[in-house]
Amino acid sequence: MKAPAFWYRPRGWLARLLAPLARLYGGKVAARMRQPGSRAGVPVVCIGNFTLGGAGKTPLALAVADILIAAGQRPAFLTRGYGGSEKGPLVVKPDDAADKVGDEALLLARKALTVKSVDRPAGAALAIEQGASIIIMDDGFQNPSLDKDCSIIAVDGETGIGNGLAFPAGPLRADIHDQIGFASAVVVIGPGDAGTAVYDFARGSSIAVFRARIGLDPQAPSLRGKRVLAFAGIGRPEKFFKTLADMGAIIAATEVFADHHAFSEEEAARIAARAQAAKLLPVTTTKDMTRLTGGPARIGLASISQTVPIRLSFDDEGAMHDFLVNRFRLAG
């Protein structure tokens, strides 16, 4: 689902019309968050967000994993594997099919042990059985089935919490005042006044606050001066296109798809033919590339496409390191 534009504008007539439904929806989510859950047996770090849609959770989860690994821990990612048909629990292998385990699960599996499970307590049990000393749960902040020892909330600096209303009147899953008490830390990713407002609100609520940015991985290939056809099926494709422009790429054409889009053979063949006819380099995200499998046209498009790997960096990585080490009394 593409987020409606009115979610990120001052509250107009449509937001006000939907406000009663928002209070009902948000109230149910808030009540659910207060339900007791199961204990995992090892610490659980949840990487979540206050809103529907993407806010940088997966890059944040990967960055947290790096810190925990450096501190001598054996983290395991626990994910529902959105977009994957398997329910689990199962251990994700980097060469699994995205339509089975989900695209984000494949990105996580390249970093550390990753378990896909719709049933989070069952997934946690499998992760511990596989040797995990700490669990990083990708999403699930509003899901009470597994107790969290620490919840780190990703906030997009540009969009923040939008108009501050719950779905369907706005992007929040529940009123921000109902959610903030369950958060241990807030990480605002990228610049923007909307993110700064959430940063200040969280700090005023005695929640640890951090700033971070998503940028190019140092290993990213140069695209300067190259004419590209950029295609993406992610939450905010315009941010990907801006990254390409900032790299010096000449964006001659774009193709936009829904988040987690399953590329068909026909779509892959069309993109490849369009790029070849105009002598353009197809460029996509690492997440989209995981979905270009399972058929000759998709495999062919993958073979001629280039990805742009990104990574999240904290403005003060030492502060996040200290937060995690002190939170779990790690050796650090």
Task: Give the pLDDT of residue 332.
Answer: 58
Q: What are phi and psi of 173, to 5 degrees?
A: -85, -25
Residue 176, domain CATH: 3.40.50
- What confidence category does residue 331 fall into, taking pLDDT thresholds of 50, 70 and 90? low
| Count: domains in the chain | 2
Domain assignment of residue 319, yes or no: yes
Residue 294 lies in a domain: yes
54 a known binding residue?
yes
Domain assignment present for residue 128? The answer is no
Confidence of residue 272 (pLDDT cuts 50, 70, 90): very high
- Of 89-103, 126-140, 199-213, least confident by mean pLDDT is 89-103
According to the model, what pLDDT value does residue 236 have? 81
Residue 78 predicted with pLDDT over 80: yes
Q: Are residues 177 and 54 in the same domain?
A: yes
Residue 63: predicted pLDDT: 96
Mean pLDDT on 4-29: 96
pLDDT score of 330 more than 80: no
**pLDDT band at residue 1 under the 50/70/90 scheme:** low
3-state SS, one letter per residue, for the chain: CCCCHHHHCCCCHHHHHHHHHHHHHHHHHHHHHCCCCECCCCCEEEEECCECCCCCHHHHHHHHHHHHHHCCCCEEEEECCCCCCCCCCEECCCCCCHHHHCHHHHHHHCCCEEEECCCHHHHHHHHHHCCCCEEEEECCCCCCCECCCEEEEEEECCCCCCCCCECCCCCECCCHHHHHHHCCEEEEECCCHHHHHHHHHHHHCCCEEEEEEEEECCCCCCCCCCEEEEEECCCCHHHHHHHHHHCCCEEEEEEECCCCCCCCHHHHHHHHHHHHHCCCEEEECHHHHCCCCCCHHHHHHHHHCEECCEEEEECCHHHHHHHHHHHHCCCC
Does residue 117 lie in a domain region?
Answer: no
Q: How do residues 285-303 score in pLDDT, each as one tens digit?
A: 999 999 998 899 999 999 9
**Are 65 and 30 in the same domain?**
yes
Would the annotation count 58 as a binding residue? yes
Q: Do residues 232 and 298 share a domain?
A: yes
Question: Does 160 show up as a binding residue in the annotation?
Answer: no
User: Shortest CA distance to 211 belongs to which of 191, 227, 226?
Assistant: 191
pTM of this structure: 0.91
Query: Across residues 273-284, what is the average pLDDT?
Result: 95
Higher-confidence residue of 216 and 105: namely: 105
Give 95's pLDDT tier (boundaries 50, 70, 90): confident
- The verdict on residue 110 lying in a domain is no
Q: What is the extent of the structural domain holding 277?
A: 227-308
Residue 139 lies in a domain: yes
Instruction: Note whether 300 and 157 are same-domain residues.
Output: no
pLDDT of residue 205 exceeding 90, the answer is yes
The overall average pLDDT reported for the chain is 93
Q: Is residue 235 part of a domain?
A: yes
85 is a domain residue: no
Residues 304 and 317 in one domain: no
- Give yes or no for residue 6 having a pLDDT over 70: yes
Q: According to the annotation, is 248 in a ligand binding site? A: no
pLDDT in tens, 226-259: 999 999 988 788 888 988 998 899 999 999 998 8
Q: 52 labelled as ligand-binding? A: yes
Instruction: Tell whether residue 72 is among the known ligand binding residues.
Output: no
Q: Is the dihedral of CA 219, 220, 222, 224 positive or negative?
A: negative
Q: Is 78 annotated as a binding residue?
A: no
pLDDT at 42: 95
Buried b (16+ CB within 10 A) or exposed e, 115-136: bbbeebbbbbbbbbeeebbbbb
